[in-house]
């Protein structure tokens, strides 16, 4: 694949998408919670930028609206809500290190390679741009998944979940010029409601296990009924 042969705007899109992927790595290994939230906000802003560029390239007008929606939701509202919650739960100085950061990062790299391996035979060689963008989006989704598996802190897990959503949105916008408007609005609404509910759950978790460390959730076992 020869990237320099692509139109300039598509090259710009790929660069932006690559930074989104980079921010996924940052999120994965970020120790301080507040910094992780900032990294997530930047990721959201970049996805919004990608959307705006796609809108400009393809003259797809409803994508301008999606771009504004993404910016408002992913880069401003959700990070702000998370910020407020961490302050309310006194987690501003909370740091949480991964068990073995090097291994997890290597795992993420492996996931990127895996995504390319999965996507390359699927899409014709002449569609260099689409190939790359789908592979990158899939990597972002899978790294979000990895983050949810290895991070044991509830807020960090939510960040992983939301960055998965970013990856999905990236795929929808850049590979397909955005989903129909009804669907996009529905997805945005679901994400927003999910965020509100996550906030409710942070409080419930703190009340019930006195911490947001999800590893302490181990009362329900396969045989059940032990605790009753």
Contacts with another protein by CB under 8 A lie at 118-119, 121-123, 130, 134, 137-138, 141, 144-145, 148, 154, 157, 161, 164-165, 167-168, 171-172, 175-177, 179-183, 186-187, 189-190, 193-194, 197-198, 200-201, 204-205, 207-209, 214, 217-220, 222-228
Token pair listed for 65? 């609206």
- Beta carbon of residue 189, minimum distance to another protein (angstroms, whole number): 8
The residue among 89 and 171 lying less far from another protein, judged by its C-beta, is 171
Whole-angstrom Cα distance, residue 194 to residue 211?
20
The residue among 41 and 205 lying less far from another protein, judged by its C-beta, is 205
- Beta carbon of residue 212, minimum distance to another protein (angstroms, whole number): 10
- Beta carbon of residue 113, minimum distance to another protein (angstroms, whole number): 16
Token pair listed for 106? 């290597």
Q: Closest Cα to residue 201, out of 149, 158, 146?
A: 158
- Beta carbon of residue 195, minimum distance to another protein (angstroms, whole number): 10
Element (H, E) at 167: helix 154-176
The residue among 53 and 171 lying less far from another protein, judged by its C-beta, is 171
The residue among 97 and 180 lying less far from another protein, judged by its C-beta, is 180
Q: Could you please report the per-residue DSSP string of 186-221? A: HHHHHHHHHHHHHHHHHHHHHHHHSS-BGGG-----
- Beta carbon of residue 219, minimum distance to another protein (angstroms, whole number): 5
Report the sign of the C-alpha dihedral through residues 175, 180, 182, 185, in that order: positive
The residue among 4 and 134 lying less far from another protein, judged by its C-beta, is 134
Whole-angstrom Cα distance, residue 175 to residue 129?
8
């Amino acid at each position: 694949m020869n990237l320099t042969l692509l139109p300039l705007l598509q090259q710009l899109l790929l660069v932006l998408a690559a930074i989104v992927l980079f921010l996924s790595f940052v999120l994965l290994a970020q120790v301080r919670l507040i910094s992780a939230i900032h990294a997530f906000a930047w990721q959201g802003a970049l996805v919004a930028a990608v959307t705006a560029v796609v809108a400009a390239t393809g003259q797809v007008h409803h994508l301008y609206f999606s771009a504004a929606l993404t910016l408002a939701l992913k880069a401003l509202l959700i990070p702000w809500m998370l910020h407020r919650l961490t302050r309310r739960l006194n987690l501003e100085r909370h740091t949480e290190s991964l068990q073995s950061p090097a291994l997890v990062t290597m795992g993420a790299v492996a996931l990127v390679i895996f995504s390319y391996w999965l996507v390359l035979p699927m899409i014709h060689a002449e569609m260099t741009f689409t190939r790359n963008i789908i592979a990158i989006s899939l990597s972002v989704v899978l790294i979000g998944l990895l983050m949810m598996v290895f991070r044991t802190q509830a807020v960090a897990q939510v960040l992983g979940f939301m960055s998965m959503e970013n990856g999905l949105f990236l795929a929808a916008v850049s590979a397909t010029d955005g989903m129909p408007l009804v669907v996009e609005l529905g997805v945005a609404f679901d994400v927003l409601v999910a965020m509100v509910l996550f906030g409710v759950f942070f409080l419930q978790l703190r009340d019930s296990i006195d911490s947001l460390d999800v590893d302490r959730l181990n009362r329900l076992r396969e045989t059940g009924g032990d605790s009753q």
